[in-house]
């Protein structure tokens, strides 16, 4: 049984279609990045999965259960982009309250406060928390009850680099335990390294849905070869290979995926001038731009 199965999901707001017949499935243990411009339909889709927004056509199931049912809610967790808590409570009091609602012992709340780096600040009033601290408390709340499906909307917003690293450790643990994760973020470099599959929405339509290697092949974007040499040999490289100078020691060539081997052979033919070479495939930021921008749009 799939953790999340969406078939032909459609949502209208007046005459505007905000989610257009989306098909998307997530397996247990899979981490999927959901990308798209603001207004592309990401948050609406997440709210439909949770049963917070009605679906106008199509079907959605969470481990076979309908969105919004008690069974589906027990299995799902949601972390919105902007979290809000009672400012007069301490972090520990707030999380213990949510733990009781989830049927979890208070010791679980204490464990999660430690895992998200709030153990030293657990007894401070939430009104004294920074945005990043509130976001970490929200993450701890989302992980209560050991959800089987986690929907995370801009979860690393406001987090420092160490907290981001800790967050992705928790995501990995959740996936390793068989939990499915749907994660929306504009931090594309993180998404490239930390997810198994990329799904891209454009104006409510799902325009890409695959692993990054397959998306690279589909996009046909060039591979970059960055070649480093001694300063006195850079002109020799340019005259033999072409490309553009990056600085006093390096040039960059571009080639198609199909021509990569031939390009490397050309570099090898002048290897006496070469100190190092880096092969740089299209990154997620380039793939996102390719799939999310409609023909005729200005980038």
pLDDT greater than 60 at residue 232: yes
Which tokens sit at 222? 């060039």
Query: pLDDT, tens digit, for every residue of 262-282?
Result: 999 999 998 888 989 999 999
Residue 294: pLDDT band (50, 70, 90) is low
Total domains in the fold of the chain: 2
Both 162 and 276 in one domain: the answer is: no
In angstroms, the CA 113 to CA 26 distance is 28
Same domain, 201 and 233: no
On whether residue 132 sits in a domain, the answer given is no
Is the residue at 8 inside a domain? yes
In this structure, are 194 and 178 located in the same domain? yes
Write the DSSP symbol of residue 298.
-
Beta bridge partners of 4: 26, 62
* Residue 212 shares a structural domain with residue 228: no
CATH assignment at residue 229: 3.30.70
Average confidence (pLDDT) over 120-137 = 92
In contact, 174 and 188? CB cutoff 8 Å: no
Q: What is the pLDDT of residue 296?
A: 38
Domain end position, chosen among 169, 186, 216:
216
Where residue 42 sits, what CATH number does that domain have? Answer: 3.40.50.300
State how far the Cα of 235 lies from the Cα of 229, in Å rounded to an integer: 10
Q: Between 293 and 234, name the one with better pLDDT.
A: 234
Q: Is 239 exposed, middle or buried (0-12, 13-18, 19+ CB in 10 A)?
A: exposed
Q: Which residues contact 72 (CB under 8 A, 6 or more apart)?
A: 51, 62, 63, 65, 66
Which residues, in sequence order, are CB contacts of 25 under 8 Å at separation 6+? 2, 4, 5, 6
Pairing mode, strands 57-62 and 4-13? antiparallel
Note the pLDDT tens digit of each residue in 40-87.
999 999 999 999 999 999 999 999 999 999 999 989 999 888 888 999
Same domain flag for 275 and 158: no
Residues 245 and 209 in one domain: no
C-alpha pair distances (Å), 2 with each of 63, 136, 203, 214, 287: 6, 29, 26, 22, 27
pTM for this prediction: 0.85
Q: Does 213 score more than 80 pLDDT?
A: yes
Same domain, residue pair 188 and 236: no
Domain range for 172: 4-81+150-216
The encoded tokens of residue 17 equal 């279609």
Give me 105's structure tokens: 């012992």
The mean pLDDT of 188-193, rounded to a whole number, is 86
| Distance between start and end Cα atoms, the chain | 40
Q: Are 106 and 161 in contact (CB under 8 A)?
A: no
Identify the pLDDT of residue 230. Answer: 86
Average the pLDDT over 2-6 and give the result. 95
State percent of the chain over pLDDT 90: 59
Q: Do 276 and 157 share a structural domain?
A: no
18 and 72 fall within a common domain: yes
Whether the per-residue pLDDT at 297 is higher than 70: the answer is no
Residue 90 lies in a domain: no
Residue with tokens 């921008």, as numbered in its chain: 293
- Categorize the per-residue pLDDT at 90 as very low, low, confident or very high, splitting at 50, 70 and 90: very high
């Amino acid at each position: 049984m799939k953790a999340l199965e969406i078939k032909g999901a459609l949502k209208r707001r007046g005459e505007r279609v905000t989610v257009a017949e989306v098909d998307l499935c997530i397996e247990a243990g899979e981490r999927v990045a959901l990308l798209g411009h603001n207004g592309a339909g990401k948050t609406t889709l997440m709210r439909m999965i949770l049963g917070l927004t009605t679906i106008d056509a199509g079907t959605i199931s969470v481990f076979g259960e309908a969105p919004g049912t008690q069974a589906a809610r027990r299995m799902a967790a949601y972390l919105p982009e902007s979290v809000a808590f009672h400012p007069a409570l301490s972090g520990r009091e707030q999380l213990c309250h949510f733990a009781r609602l989830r049927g979890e012992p208070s010791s679980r709340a204490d464990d999660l406060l430690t895992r998200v780096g709030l153990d030293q600040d657990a007894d401070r009033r939430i009104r004294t928390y920074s945005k990043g601290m509130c976001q970490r408390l929200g993450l701890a709340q989302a992980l209560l009850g050991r959800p089987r499906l986690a929907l995370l909307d801009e979860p690393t917003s406001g987090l420092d680099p160490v907290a981001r690293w800790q967050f992705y450790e928790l995501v990995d643990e959740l996936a390793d335990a068989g939990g499915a994760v749907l994660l929306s973020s504009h931090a594309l470099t993180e998404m490239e390294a930390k997810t198994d599959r990329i799904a891209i929405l454009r104006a409510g339509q799902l325009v890409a849905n695959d692993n990054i290697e397959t998306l690279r092949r589909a996009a046909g974007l060039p591979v970059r070869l960055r070649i480093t040499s001694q300063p006195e040999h850079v002109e020799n490289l340019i005259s033999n290979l072409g490309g553009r100078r990056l600085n006093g020691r390096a040039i960059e060539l571009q080639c198609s995926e199909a021509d990569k081997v031939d390009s490397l052979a050309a570099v090898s033919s002048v290897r006496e001038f070469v100190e190092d070479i880096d092969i740089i495939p299209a990154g997620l930021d380039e793939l996102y731009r390719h799939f999310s921008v409609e023909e005729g749009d200005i980038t």
